[in-house]
Amino acid sequence: MTTLFDRYELDGLVLPNRVVMAPMTRVRAAAGGVPTSSMATYYAQRASAGLIVTEGVQPSLVGQSNPGTPGLHTDEQVAGWRQVTAAVHANGGRLFAQLMHGGRVSHPDTTGRQPVGPSAVPAVGDVFTPTGPQPAPVPRALDTAEVPEHARSYAEAARRALDAGFDGVELHGANGYLISQFLSSNANRRTDRYGGPVAHRIRFAVEAAAATAAAVGGARTGIRLSPGGTFWGVEETDVPELYTALLRELAALDLAYVHLEATADEDVLLRLRRAWPGTLVVNPTLPMGPKQTGRTEAEHWLDLGADLISFGRAFIANPDLVERLRNRLPLAPVDEATYYQGGDAGYLTYPAYQYSA
């Protein structure tokens, strides 16, 4: 019987357990998107995870979604990430960078540029800016000739990630950001080869993954997906058909893994498990939903055929989450007010479990 605490070989990268730290935005980067020593400590504290996937990292300036997030498109950012990867590796951990192009989920006050997207359709809701939340602006629709440049931006950032010492990268294809926008049937209203039928809507995701795999190897490239998710107002028609077609194309690239969020019914996710021949990471509970992933949900999905299980919010307040899960210790509650406030409080101040004498 497979357990959370069994070793797993991820295309030559040996994971000591099957617990993955999911990517979570924490907006602690310095000016210019440069990672800090506090970020190095934060990730190193959680190095007992089988695999850590970082917060979303912008592959270009126009790809930045929120202020205070780190990038991988300048030499200064690469240098900042080296202290993070060194700290994690010194503590015995493994670290993938999540590459996140925000697309239309951005604002000129954050980047100095008009956001771009598959179509001139704004996201639903307010986006974060340096002066507070503001309505999502109308993005500039990318010309057909421009689209491959944005697909290649993931590959260019992936090269920088490996130069910075990362073990691999995860493309953020979920939660209403750029790849997800191209998959969408309402954010993507294009009539060229990147829009319309399923075969066209998956093209950008496949091109981004193919470019990244060509740059750093499929074994060091994963992708996160949220089938049927409605983040930032995206909608997807024909979810099983859309994602089955996408997984079929991605399978030819021999990627390290696909990371599925529980944004669709279990029967849909099981259908996608059958469609994907490689390593599957599952996040068993809805991101930012009312329930956090625990050991029960993790074991359920291991029994259903997932290879690795990702935990999000539980890792914020429990840097020693693997030990707590292994020994069935209580989980510390998280202070939501400190998610994005900056500083070390609510970031580096959660202790490991304190055993009584």
Element (H, E) at 206: helix 203-216
Q: How many other β-carbons are positioned within 10 Å of the β-carbon of residue 142?
A: 23
Could you give the angle at which helices 203-216 and 239-251 cross, rounded to 10 degrees? 20
Please indicate, yes or no, if residue 345 is contained in any of the structural domains: no
DSSP 143-173: PTTTHHHHHHHHHHHHHHHHHTT-SEEEEEE
Q: Residue 259: which residues within 8 A CB-CB, separation 6 or more?
A: 20, 53, 170, 174, 222, 223, 224, 225, 281, 282, 283, 310
d(CA 144, CA 152): 14
> Residues 103, 117: contact at Cβ < 8 Å?
yes
Active site residues: 177
> In total, how many domains does the chain have?
1
Q: Who's near 257: CB < 8 A, 6+ residues apart?
A: 10, 222, 223, 278, 279, 280, 281, 307, 308
- What are the pLDDT tens digits along the chain (357 aa)? 899 999 999 999 999 999 999 999 999 999 999 999 999 999 999 999 999 999 999 999 999 999 999 999 999 999 999 999 999 999 999 999 999 999 999 999 999 999 999 999 999 999 999 999 999 999 999 999 999 999 999 999 999 999 999 999 999 999 999 999 999 999 999 999 999 999 999 999 999 999 999 999 999 999 999 999 999 999 999 999 999 999 999 999 999 999 999 999 999 999 999 999 999 999 998 776 677 888 899 999 999 999 999 999 999 999 999 999 999 999 999 999 999 999 999 999 999 998 876
Query: Considering the domain boundaries, does residue 349 fall inside one?
Result: no
Range of the domain at 215: 8-338
Please report, for the domain that includes residue 51, its CATH number: 3.20.20.70
| Integer angstrom CA distances of residue 23 from 99, 169, 189, 329, 347 | 10, 11, 29, 23, 14
Q: Is residue 227 part of a domain?
A: yes
Residues listed for the chain: 357
Residue 49 lies in a domain: yes
* Residue 90 resides in a domain: yes
- Is 1 among the domain residues? no
- What CA–CA distance (Å, rounded) separates 103 from 115? 6
In a domain, 331, yes or no: yes
Residues in Cβ contact with 349 at an 8 Å cutoff, skipping those fewer than 6 apart: none
**Inside any domain, residue 188:** yes
- Does the pTM of the predicted model rise above 0.85? yes
